[in-house]
A and B are shown apart, each in its own frame.
Chain A
Amino acid sequence: MTEYLFIDLDTERWICRVCAHDFGDARGNYKEGTLVYDRDPREIHPPVIDPEKYEFTFSPDPLFCRILEFYCPSCGTQIEAEYLPPGHPPTIDMLWDIDSLKAKWAASGLNPEEAVNYGPGENAVTDLSARFDGTTGHNHAHRTEGI
């Protein structure tokens, strides 16, 4: 469903594409299975001009903006980074109709792990299959993404 998230249509679970961690019910919010960190945005976007001298510096104002980082609890992959006002509820960004997904993939006759790529063009063709061994029925060899 995303760069780092599978939905296992058999078990109806959100799965980490990197390590097979189970994030929970695929009919619900995958974020509920993540670890979250409230990041001061100045740590990500360092100031270019001196914050001791100026109010506006290239760094977001932490009183306006926080960055919520969502991690996989098993492999530590950063699945999402959401920019929010302090205290604003994290967004439930995706809710999928699992019955419809099942029906569409069944009708297509395709293997999702083989059929999905990044879109048109030779350089968008990629391997978006699981990066883990067959712990949930997948039989792909383990592979790493560089270092």
Chain B
Amino acid sequence: MTLISDKFEATDDGGNSAQLLSEQEQQWVDKFMDETTLFLGPDPAIMRHHEIMPRTPYEQQCIDEGIDPIEVDRIRKRLAGALDEAFEMCESMGAAPGAKWADLSCAVYTAEGDVTYLSNRGVIAFSAVLHHPIRYIMKNWKNEPTVGINPGDGFFHNDSRFGMVHNTDQSMLVPVIRGGHIIAWVGATIHEGENGACEPGGMPSGSETPFDDGLRASPIKIVERGLLRRDLLTFLQHSTRDPKLMLADIKVKMGAVRRIMETVDRLIDEVGQETFVASLRMTVEDVETEVRRRIGELPDGTVTFNQFVDSTLKENILIKFACKITVKGERLIVDLTGTGPEILNRAINSPLASTKAFMAQAILSYWWPDLPRSTGALSPIEVITEEHSWADAGYDAPVGQSLQASFRGFSALQTAFAKMQFSAPIKYSNVVAPWFNQINDFLWGGTTQNGEQVGNLCADLNGMGGGAKAFRDGEDAVAPLFCAMADIGEQEVMEEEVPFLQLVSKRLVRDNQGFGKYRGGMGYEMIVASRGTPNWGFMTVTSGSKFSSVPGMFGGYGCPVYPLAIVKGINIYDIIKEDPTQFDLSMERVMNEQPFAGGDYQSAHMGLQFDVAKEGELYMIAQGAGGGYGDVLERDPELVVTDLELDRISAQIATEMYGVVWEPGTYVVHEEETRQLRADMRRARISRGTPYKEFVAKFVTEEPPAELLYFGSWGQEDDEELIATHWGGLEPQRVKGKLEDLPLIMVPDRRVLKITRLEARVLELEQKYGETVIHKS
């Protein structure tokens, strides 16, 4: 069966009451399509659905034989133990830097691909998206004579258009087969990094077509009856910059999956095949049932949270990620209508499955972290999107840095939930302000001091600042939004393998906070410089340099914005060898004092395409902060002066933001003066504030400012009406309409635009000064 349809069917469900063709006619159509299909791309019938599959007849038969909840729980715990063991194997043995810091996941799936249980550590989204490739394999390769699915087989893929968070991850999916029937799947996924994209490291900010995104493996049988296929392995190794990494981690994933299979084999021997299958199925269904019940506990209503992203990673724009979440009884609907269109030559677009995977991440780690880690949790949630928006990108859109959109899917759910759950009498997680949501990190690539070609990233992506809780400050650089127990690595160990030093590694940046009654967790700065390499470069891949990436909650403020700072034309190693006192490095000092003669000091947004870094040139960024919670004037003054004493905040913030008066030198709070200052500040608010309707009449405009390259709805009255910026020629034009009516959006090369501007200026000056110059093209 190779017909592509939007209808969602179980693979072994032969019945179709709505069938328009006779049985004979359908067979003819199927035969024709089988014989004439050019190739099997991502299947919309699989890729556009996240609901758990209906029970198969075999699952029903297994369940009918009786369920003992205690035994199901015991099986689940055994699986959890096996998954955690496999996780640790990947973490200990994985060659990918990401594996060493917990950017991986292992899981057990039903025969139809629904996640029954994930490893307790690791990235939920990695495993939560793999039902798509399993369904693809079951639909297309199970009965395909040239492929087939046999005991000991293992499938590899990395293309996110077939179901993967992003193309830098690679999976190993292995069937559990008994009596000739597939009864379950086991899988492992690692953030591998290098994938042969147009830039090293696997997450190219510079990709302009899907072909720039690097390796694009649809599910392929890399392991056949227990043996790794050398022909395909060789192809994969030749497709990336790091063949050693490819070989090592395919083997690591095979080993980890084998360990899970050993537990699965023992379990089946102990409890029987039927009980095992029933327990997998009931876990998925039970989680879905429990999620519906918990939705029913939330207040009915609609919470809206819009995000504005300020970069394509090549130029500054403003593109909206709209989100309305409606609860009605046990239904929960996430509506992304109003989100900006895909940009067909920029890397920020996300496939729908990746966006949904991060919704599952929010639900299982921030809404209901006590649930068994099954994708039954996302199943009952309805998600409305428009295909060809940047959160639901089409097949032809580059997705090299899809996290720009998919992380916003996480933030939409995580942020809105504080309002959705605040008044619920039963909560399963704390009320928390927004988590930081950007990978403020260096990617790198080139030739190491050991002569190897590599491309990957620093562990600092795992150092995101946590959002403030309603009753305590957020934690500094605590964990990435996608992994609760990730690590930021051992820098000294990394420096043995890569030719650069983090000259400043973990220094907090003063005032880098989401201010509030409780402040967000802070981020730290990183300063790197290459050393001892013939060929090296750095990249950065995030937005949020002009518009804050996360807001605060209930009156608290969001994070600041983050620049990239670079000093070219110097060699810091020579400088500090000559004068060790110059080792006092910080972005603030270096950029403001410009202490190194001959240096070219530059600031830029955080979308840096691969930039050749000569020895000793400085690259500086700061990790991001979580959002603050509550009114700043309610912050305990003692907490304010503690932050001040530790140089976490400036005196200006302590006074002008928090309204605290203290004794210089001793940091003793002057309570009465503080009380008086805060009262004055509250009165000042009342004095400067404008009544809402009057304010709206003055502030709100019909359209975005003309100079903003804007994409998305404007306001929320009609989210189907989008505004976009279109370049028919070199000048941007504003267009409006429904998504399907908008022209294809492609952004011209910024260097071409700059040259055009400079040429116009040259012409203007020539005319002004009467100089006649013949310009040949």
Complex: how many Å from CA A101 to CA B690?
A: 31
Task: Report yes or no: B419 in contact with A53, Cβ–Cβ below 8 A.
Answer: no
Task: Report yes or no: A60 in contact with B555, Cβ–Cβ below 8 A.
Answer: no
CB of B423 within 8 A of CB of A116, answer yes
Indicate whether A65 sits within 8 Å of B547 (C-beta atoms), given known contacts A83-B558, A94-B301: yes
In the assembled complex, how far is the CB of residue B655 from the closest CB belonging to chain A, in whole angstroms? 12
Contacts of B690 in A (CB 8 A): 35-37
Q: What is the CB-to-nearest-CB distance from B314 to chain A, in angstroms, rounded to a whole number?
A: 15
Most B Cβ at <10 Å: residue of A45, A77, A101: A45
Q: Among the listed B554, B633, B714, B715, which residue makes an inter-chain contact with A79, where contact means beta carbons less than 8 Å apart? A: B554
- Is B725's beta carbon under 8 Å from chain A? no
B546 and A61 contacting across the interface, CB-CB below 8 Å: yes
Give the residue name and chain of the B residue nearest to A77 (CB): B631
Segment from B34-42, B254-262, B464-472 that makes contact with A: B464-472
Q: Which residue of B lies closest to A58 (CB)?
A: B560
Q: A83-B308, A83-B558, A145-B634 are in contact. Are A89 and B716 (CB under 8 A)?
A: yes
Contact B422 A2 (CB under 8 A): yes
A141 sits at the interface (CB 8 A): no
Residues of chain A with a CB closer than 8 A to B632's CB:
78
Q: Which chain B residues lie closer than 8 Å to A67 at the CB level?
A: 557
* Contact (Cβ within 8 A) B637 A119: no
Is B716 touching A77 in the complex (CB atoms < 8 A)? no
A37 / chain B contacts, CB cutoff of 8 Å:
685, 688-690
Contact of A49 with B591 at beta-carbon distance under 8 Å, contacts A118-B469, A124-B430, A147-B678 already known: yes
How does the 8 Å CB contact mask read for B588-629 relative to A, with 1 for contact and 0 for none? 100110000000010111000000000000000010000001
The yes or no answer to A100 lying at the interface (CB within 8 A) is: yes
| Chain A residues whose C-beta falls within 8 Å of the C-beta of B587 in the assembled complex | 48-49
Residues of A within 8 A of B717 (CB): 89
Instruction: Give which listed residue, B308, B555, B591, B705, contacts A80 with CB less than 8 A.
Output: B555
Checking A71, A115, A145 against B685 with a beta-carbon cut-off of 8 angstroms, the contacting residue is A71
Interchain CB contact under 8 A, B689 and A86 = no
* CB-based contact B558/A108 at 8 Å: no
Check: B509 CB closer than 8 A to any chain A CB: yes
Chain B residues whose CB sits within 8 angstroms of the CB of A94 once the complex forms = 301-304, 419
A-B CB pair tally, cutoff 8 Å = 284
Q: Does B769 contact A (CB under 8 A)?
A: no
- Contact in complex: B708, A85 (CB < 8 Å): yes
Contact of A31 with B511 at beta-carbon distance under 8 Å, contacts A44-B657, A67-B557, A100-B300 already known: no
When distances are taken between beta carbons in the complex, the residues of chain B under 8 Å from A137 are: none
Query: Hey, which chain B residues are within 8 Å of A104, CB to CB?
Result: 299-300
In angstroms, how far is the closest chain B Cβ from the Cβ of A97?
4
Which residues from A are CB-within-8-Å of B480?
none
Name the A residues within 8 Å of B699 (CB-CB): 36, 38, 68, 87, 90
Determine whether the beta carbon of B591 is less than 8 Å from that of A116. Answer: no
Interface string of A41-71 (1 = CB under 8 A from B): 1001110111001111111110111011111
| Chain B residues numbered 538-558 whose CB sits less than 8 Å from any CB in chain A | 545-548, 551-558
When the two chains form the complex, which single residue of A57, A71, A91 contacts B686, counting CB atoms closer than 8 Å? A71
Which DSSP category, helix, strand, loop or mixed, fits chain A's interface?
loop
What residues of chain B lie closer than 8 Å to A146, measured between beta carbons? 634, 636-637
Residues of B686-704 at the interface with A, using a CB-CB cut-off of 8 Å, are: 686, 688-693, 695-696, 699-701, 703-704
Kindly report which residue of chain A lies nearest to residue B472, judged by CB atoms. A123
Q: How far, in angstroms, from A77 to B653 measured CA to CA in the complex? A: 18
B548 contacts A65, CB within 8 Å? yes
Q: Which residue of A lies closest to B552 (CB)?
A: A81
Q: Complex: how many Å from CA A41 to CA B323?
A: 24
In Å, the complex CA distance between A3 and B630 comes to: 7
CA distance A79 to B532 in the complex (A): 54
Q: Assuming A97-B299, A126-B471, is B425 touching A110 (CB within 8 A)?
A: yes
Q: Is A119 in contact with B429, judged by CB distance below 8 angstroms?
A: yes
| B563 and A49 contact, CB distance less than 8 A | yes
CB-contacts of A94-146 with B (<8 A): 94-97, 100-101, 104, 108, 110, 112, 115-121, 123-124, 126, 145-146
Proximity string of chain B (497-517) to chain A, C-beta cutoff 8 Å, 1 when within and 0 when not: 000000000000111100101
B547 touches A83 (CB 8 A): yes
A10 within 8 A of B: no
Collect the chain B residues with CB atoms within 8 Å of residue A73's CB. 686, 689, 691
Contact residues, B552-579 vs A (CB, 8 A): 552-558, 560-565
User: Contact between A49 and B588 (Cβ–Cβ < 8 Å)?
Assistant: yes
- Let me know if A53 and B601 touch, CB within 8 A: yes
Say whether B738 faces chain A, with CB atoms less than 8 Å apart: no
Q: Please, which residues of chain A bring their CB within 8 A of the CB of B705?
A: 63, 85-87
Q: Is B91 an interface residue (CB 8 A)?
A: no
Check if A60 sits within 8 Å of B689, measured CB to CB: no
For the complex formed, measure the closest distance between the CB of B623 and the CB atoms of chain A, giving whole angstroms. 12
- CA A74 – CA B622 in complex, angstroms? 39
- Decide if A119 touches B428 in the complex (CB within 8 Å): yes
**In the complex, what distance in Å separates the CA atom of A83 from the CA atom of B556?**
11
The docked-state distance in angstroms from the alpha carbon of A2 to that of B553 is 9
Residues of B within 8 A of A82 (CB): 551
A4 and B555 within 8 A (CB): yes
Can you name 14 A-B pairs with beta carbons within 8 Å?
A1-B419, A3-B553, A32-B693, A38-B699, A45-B557, A58-B512, A64-B316, A76-B681, A78-B631, A81-B557, A89-B715, A89-B716, A101-B299, A118-B470
- The 3 A-B residue pairs whose C-beta atoms are closest, nearest first, are A35-B689, A76-B682, A87-B701
Residues on A facing B (Cβ under 8 Å): 1-4, 31-38, 41, 44-46, 48-50, 53-61, 63-65, 67-71, 73-97, 100-101, 104, 108, 110, 112, 115-121, 123-124, 126, 145-147
A65-B308, A108-B425 are known contacts; what are 4 more A-B pairs with Cβ within 8 Å? A65-B548, A76-B684, A93-B305, A119-B430
